[in-house]
Structure 1
Amino acid sequence: MPSFTFANILLESNPRSENYPGLYCRADRALSLNPQDGFWMLTGAGTFDFTTYFNSLSVMKLLKYTTATHFRLHIELRGSACTIMQTTTDQFSKESVPVEETAVHLDAGDDWQSVDVDFRITDTTVLAGFVIETEGAVELRNGYYELELSDDPHDVELVLATTTFKKEGFVTGNIELVRRNIVESGEDIADHFNMYVMDNGRTLDKEALDSDRITIVPEGNVGGAGGFTRGMIMALEQNPPATHVILMDDDVAISPESIKRTYNLLRILKPEHEYSMISGAMLNYRIGEDQCEDTGYMGPRGDFLPCKPMLRMTLLDDLIYNEMFEPSKDMRTALYAGWWYCCIPTDMIRKNGLPLPVFVRSDDTEYGWRCKPEFITMNSLCIWHMPFQEKYDAAVERYQTTRNPLISQFTTGFAPESDFIYAMHNKLRLELKKFGYTNAELVLDGFEDFLKGPRFIEQKGMAERTFLAANRNKEKLMTFEELQKVAERDPVLKGFDIRKIDRQLIDEDSPRTYTERLVDYVTDNGQRYIRTSGDGYAVIPLMGWVYPAGAIRGKQKLVVLDWYARKGAIRTKDAERYRAIRKRYLRDMRYYRAHAARLREEYAAARDKLTSIEFWKDYLDMN
């Protein structure tokens, strides 16, 4: 049986590993790196458990998806006397269990000693790892997991494609990590890897950043969909052609080891799993141990939902939950993998075509649904992403998320159980109840552009022009200092002091009686049927999905704050503007009901064109 090195024991030295060491090792002692000699020190007598997010072995999934039949740990140590042994977990574990029969004892010594531990696996093993019990300081290096396979590994040519728009701080750091740890690693992946960076803002220094197997591609602002599509086309047309392409966001931090393990996983998949997408997890850039999502699905009301709850990746029971989770039947009707980190077989692209030209939002969800692949997730395959609530953008959340799911559903049949008309209606009502008239108009802008049919969106440059227009038309925010000056001139906001505002005040709500709830529903917060000018003001969060119904009822003005960005706006109840927007909405709905069948036929007929290489090459000026 062939042997195969699958994963390096990962011990990074960066702020993340210092703040969240439990992602790498659990211990009552510190670990420190000697960067000159490239080894780690376990400082003092203690127990060091490596059954962690990055350093445990996903035995259950490897047995399910790959040709692995046996597992082995290799590691080199020197220093004080110590004992190394395998650990194991099952579906109910909260702590790892040492496997005493695998224990290897080393006497103290100044020379490096190699240890190989053959793992003992049972039918209930979910994760396996190892523990080192030391009598004093011990240094370690060159640790890795080796697998025995029933078949020879496959040949894989891997592309990493990322699209950026003026995110130089993130992108240049990731390029350097890839160059140093993958391209120059001397490992097998180095000869079968290319990174393409689609620079939509044309702000990267191509001459300085281009290197062997890393290419900066300046292009127009064609959004994430356009940038990722160019990456797909380049992957298909390079020599030799790529077998797989990883699509990755720009505002992320990476661990190169995740990319290496993705490559290794692809090489050993069983034939029945070779046509799978690998969905990397999104961990929280601000709270590095928290997993936000790995796979998601479209809910019946047209909302984007994570399959799993928020998980903490320093807790062993959460690691096990993460490995064992199976999407429900309802989730599987519209399952997707986000393109913050998603690995797609190029054969899947050849079979199903390219993404839709929707700029941003719904490109990844629609494509995952269209291809209907098996999704593989695994602990340690991840990136760290800025939390969505820290970058709320009405141009995206009101214009794009109204227009694009409808385009997707009508073109390819995307998420047939999801009601995107309801989602549009709900977004509109939320904005109107919170006096967000400007952003309510963005919702209708997106709906009306969808109603124009496929000939509208297929126009070259239209995706960028409409997105730029949405950014111009969205609600304008002021800095806290500017907002305070405006508030001081407004008699309704008398007493408002930004210095006395905190998150508790912004986030809190007030209870309502059943009658109050009924009145608010019928009148849209005093703007319909029974119109009231309102009294006083409330302070609420900016995020569009938040509905502090008790806090806003009966108010004349609302101060909406984005405390992440330290910006906000002042909204005033305006029954006449409310009525104009409602009138526009009802007109749009009459048109939709009269023309829905025709639109569905036109979008469906445009599918082959909009997802073809010929269309996209012209759209991206690649001819």
Structure 2
Amino acid sequence: MSGDQQGWTQLQRVILPPEGQVDTIPLYVDAGTVNGVRLIEDDAVYRAAKLPEDKLRFMSSTPRQAHFEDLLSRTSMKVRSGDRMSFGTYFNAFPASYWRRWTTVRDIRLTVSTQGEGAVVVYKSNARGSLQRVASERVSGSTVSNFELSLKPFGDGGWYWFDLVAGGEDLILTEAQWLSNAERRIEGGGSITLEITTMNKPDYCLNNAKILADNLDVLDCVKEFVIVDQGNQKVLDYPGFKEVAERFNGRLRIIEQANLGGSGGFSRGMYEALENESDYALLLDDDVVIEPDSITRLAVFADYCRKPTIAGGHMFDLYNRTVLHTFGEIVDAHRIQPALPHQDMELRHDFAVVNLRQTPWTHRRTDVDYNGWWMCLIPTAVIREIGLSMPLFLKWDDAEYGLRAKEAGFATVSLPGAAVWHVSWADKDDLVGWQAYFHERNRAITALLHSPFPKGGRVQRESLQQDVKHLIAMQYFTERGRIMAMEDLLQGPEELHRLLAERLPQINALRAEYPDAQVKEDFDDFPHPRISKGPHPSANAGIPAKKDLIPWALKTVVRQLVRKPDPSSEEYPQTVLAHKDNRWWRTAGYDSIIVTNAEGTGASWYRRDPAKLRAMMAQSTRLHAQIYREWESLAARYQAAVPQITSYQAWRETFEKHTVSRDEAQP
């Protein structure tokens, strides 16, 4: 099946993990046991590869393994005699259904270059995860195998991939590519401004700069690489960074500005892409490790989309790199909360345990409302029409933008095979502490802008319930931020740009007033726990049953308001709770406890304070009632303000005010 490749464009190439990332092999080629959906009964394939009969029997009974030393380069690997290796993996299977749904491509070509004796076997799947053998070719010597493949059967889901079977000698994969001869929407390929927003993570920035500098071939489409530095630990001053920066030959620029949060940093990336007339802005988080081929995959996919389309990458766990944390997200319109697009999807799936071919839900095409800005490619045509990010500092900026784009007719696609490794939410608890302000305010703003339900559906009811939970759990600093969020929400959208640089320092200044906000590294920095006359809940206490929840909550609130804490609780905690046990139904039963944080880096002392509970409960109730009464007028104000506050001009004024010179930037 040889043929001339002239006139064909590479959509995706087969890649292998970089040196030193042995733990990621299952994402590239089936490492460990490779008996997932291997068709053992298809002995004809093995016989075509001229396998000795004893090896044929051996392969049918004993799984073989991929070896790290057999990875020869980023595009080449050795398959040992008698082995069968599958490229039906996250990074190397071709996500046919996504190309079928969103692009003009209808036919593709798989080209596999090999050296040695064996066979190439092509497979496909459907949306139910059923697997079908498509074609096979025996290879010998130096061979280029071409397979012409149609995308027409992939309406709801499915992938293409291939396996290599080595015969009596080793089989070398030289390279493999998925190609198309369809016309691009952007002829010759669009240009990208690649932007990283960072806040005191210069080590991550240096690492990603090194990765990109070592893979300059994936930056052919990148017009400019911009790092927006919003911290006081400057990237440009970090040891070794200037040497790496020189490898970009003038395409890397660092902008230093005040801390305007993620929305301020990423809007700066959008702004710079408009300024230099790029076709796309590619937004990247700082605390990630990037798979560099993801850049070209997103860019080429977006080029072939029938109309301007936001294309984003998935998120793997930085500390457990075969675990897929986010495959796609929607917004539950009734609750304005992130949700999984379909019920059988797993939130955290480990491809080292169960491979792609054995995981039916990954074969169904997943349509989304938005993509997280850990890696997201946004066409500047979209930015020109709907504006830049809402000035939300952080939380909900990416989801709100996706919803706004969707309402304007622009889809978002979370593209399999494009991804970063990022610290997963499992290692964070950002609903407690200073970020609670942004969760509360920005969720409500998103509801005001996009909820189709009266009064925002369940948003306000759940918000009040959350306030009760924080208060009975003695998280007074968290609740202070949530009250401040509601007060700012009622001020209206006109204040959002002003608050970008002001609100976080003001929230942090309140820490001194709240013991639950003060973190100490050593348990010895706290008094040793002692038994007191106060309550001691059972260590096995669980969440109250749904039918008992409201009576239990009322009883708990009344008890905390009326019953004075044991006097000794001011001097000594009653116990220490691990973070996983820090649940409102547990902590509500104590007067004084030490609680560790999600990161495991320290602990705080929670102490019950009836006066704070009484005052904050009253404030929360009053503010929720006011927001409920004014919901329609607030929604009208916020919706009317969006075009202005997300405009190029509004953000330009904010950037001019908060961009700093090198002298001003020094800590």
TM bin (shorter chain)? 0.7 to 0.9
1:8 matches 2:41: no
| Contact in 2 for aligned 1:252/1:383 (Cα 8 Å) | yes
1:353 matches 2:353: no
Structure 1: how far apart are the matches of 2:577 and 2:558? Answer: 18
User: C-alpha deviations, 1:154-190, integer Å up to 9, x for none?
Assistant: 3411222221111112221112222331xx31x6x61
Amino acid at match of 1:231: G
Q: Percent identity?
A: 18
| Contact in 1 for aligned 2:118/2:139 (Cα 8 Å) | yes
Residue 322 of structure 1: aligned partner = 362
User: C-alpha deviations, 1:72-115, integer Å up to 9, x for none?
Assistant: 22233334x21112122223336x5443x432232xx5xx4433
| Contact in 2 for aligned 1:451/1:592 (Cα 8 Å) | yes
1:60 matches 2:115: no
Structure 1: how far apart are the matches of 2:597 and 2:539? Answer: 11
Greater shift, 55-64 or 258-267, is seen at: 55-64
Residue 593 of structure 2: aligned partner = 558
CA drift of 1:471 comes to: 2.9
1:97 and 1:36, CA in 2 relative to 1: closer, same or farther beyond 3 A? closer
SS at match of 2:298: helix
1:423 and 1:39, CA in 2 relative to 1: closer, same or farther beyond 3 A? same
Query: Match for 2:265 among 218, 221, 227?
Result: 227
Query: Match for 1:242 among 264, 273, 278?
Result: 278
The two structures have a TM-score, normalised by structure 1, of 0.84
1:105 matches 2:144: no
Equivalent runs, 1:332-371 vs 2, <5 Å: 335-371=369-405
CA drift of 1:225 comes to: 0.8
CA drift of 1:605 comes to: 4.3
Residue 195 of structure 1: aligned partner = 225
User: C-alpha deviations, 1:556-611, integer Å up to 9, x for none?
Assistant: 23332225333222212222221121122234345545655554454344333211
User: C-alpha deviations, 1:415-473, integer Å up to 9, x for none?
Assistant: 654543334313211111211122211211221122223343332xx322211222343
Structure 1: how far apart are the matches of 2:612 and 2:289? Answer: 44
Equivalent runs, 1:377-456 vs 2, <5 Å: 377-393=414-430, 394-410=432-448, 412-413=449-450, 417-456=456-495
Greater shift, 312-321 or 425-434, is seen at: 312-321
SS at match of 2:488: helix
Query: Match for 2:526 among 473, 483, 486?
Result: 486
Query: Match for 2:23 among 19, 23, 30?
Result: 19
1:139 matches 2:159: no
Structure 2: how far apart are the matches of 1:593 and 1:144? Answer: 56
1:521 matches 2:556: no
What is the number of residues matched between the two proteins? 585
| Contact in 2 for aligned 1:73/1:143 (Cα 8 Å) | yes
Residue 72 of structure 1: aligned partner = 109
Q: Give the superposed CA RMSD.
A: 3.4
SS at match of 1:421: helix
| Contact in 1 for aligned 2:594/2:603 (Cα 8 Å) | yes
Query: Match for 1:263 among 299, 316, 322?
Result: 299
1:103 and 1:313, CA in 2 relative to 1: closer, same or farther beyond 3 A? farther
1:352 and 1:221, CA in 2 relative to 1: closer, same or farther beyond 3 A? same
Structure 2: how far apart are the matches of 1:152 and 1:302? Answer: 34
Residue 585 of structure 1: aligned partner = 620
Structure 1: how far apart are the matches of 2:637 and 2:137? Answer: 67
1:130 matches 2:130: no
Query: Match for 1:179 among 206, 213, 220?
Result: 213
Amino acid at match of 1:127: W
Structure 1: how far apart are the matches of 2:508 and 2:263? Answer: 18
User: C-alpha deviations, 1:334-377, integer Å up to 9, x for none?
Assistant: x3322112221111111111212121112111111112122223
Amino acid at match of 1:235: A
Residue 117 of structure 1: aligned partner = 147
SS at match of 1:261: helix
Structure 1: how far apart are the matches of 2:520 and 2:162? Answer: 52
User: C-alpha deviations, 1:302-330, integer Å up to 9, x for none?
Assistant: 43334353252622257652342455xxx
Structure 2: how far apart are the matches of 1:3 and 1:507? Answer: 65
SS at match of 1:621: helix
CA drift of 1:119 comes to: 4.0
Residue 42 of structure 1: aligned partner = 79
1:580 and 1:369, CA in 2 relative to 1: closer, same or farther beyond 3 A? same
User: C-alpha deviations, 1:195-215, integer Å up to 9, x for none?
Assistant: 211111151117542633222
Residue 324 of structure 2: aligned partner = 291
Structure 2: how far apart are the matches of 1:5 and 1:73? Answer: 10
CA drift of 1:117 comes to: 3.5
SS at match of 2:106: strand
CA drift of 1:522 comes to: 1.0
Structure 2: how far apart are the matches of 1:230 and 1:309? Answer: 34
Greater shift, 249-258 or 84-93, is seen at: 84-93
| Contact in 2 for aligned 1:29/1:43 (Cα 8 Å) | no
1:204 matches 2:235: yes
SS at match of 1:478: coil
| Contact in 2 for aligned 1:279/1:375 (Cα 8 Å) | yes
| Contact in 2 for aligned 1:85/1:117 (Cα 8 Å) | no
Structure 1: how far apart are the matches of 2:334 and 2:159? Answer: 34
Structure 2: how far apart are the matches of 1:34 and 1:389? Answer: 32
Structure 1: how far apart are the matches of 2:73 and 2:646? Answer: 51
Structure 1: how far apart are the matches of 2:610 and 2:388? Answer: 45
Structure 2: how far apart are the matches of 1:277 and 1:413? Answer: 19
1:6 and 1:514, CA in 2 relative to 1: closer, same or farther beyond 3 A? closer
Residue 501 of structure 1: aligned partner = none
SS at match of 1:117: strand
SS at match of 1:140: strand
Structure 1: how far apart are the matches of 2:488 and 2:122? Answer: 59
CA drift of 1:152 comes to: 7.8
1:5 and 1:431, CA in 2 relative to 1: closer, same or farther beyond 3 A? same
Structure 2: how far apart are the matches of 1:214 and 1:318? Answer: 42
| Contact in 1 for aligned 2:16/2:73 (Cα 8 Å) | no
Structure 2: how far apart are the matches of 1:38 and 1:91? Answer: 29
1:131 and 1:613, CA in 2 relative to 1: closer, same or farther beyond 3 A? same
Structure 1: how far apart are the matches of 2:153 and 2:502? Answer: 56
User: C-alpha deviations, 1:500-540, integer Å up to 9, x for none?
Assistant: xxxxx999643657896454211335545764648995654
1:339 and 1:586, CA in 2 relative to 1: closer, same or farther beyond 3 A? same
SS at match of 2:482: helix
Structure 1: how far apart are the matches of 2:623 and 2:152? Answer: 61
| Contact in 1 for aligned 2:221/2:296 (Cα 8 Å) | no
CA drift of 1:621 comes to: 0.7
Amino acid at match of 2:28: Y
1:175 and 1:506, CA in 2 relative to 1: closer, same or farther beyond 3 A? farther
The two structures have a TM-score, normalised by structure 2, of 0.79
SS at match of 1:524: helix
CA drift of 1:7 comes to: 0.9
1:152 and 1:574, CA in 2 relative to 1: closer, same or farther beyond 3 A? closer
| Contact in 2 for aligned 1:179/1:214 (Cα 8 Å) | no
| Contact in 2 for aligned 1:258/1:382 (Cα 8 Å) | yes
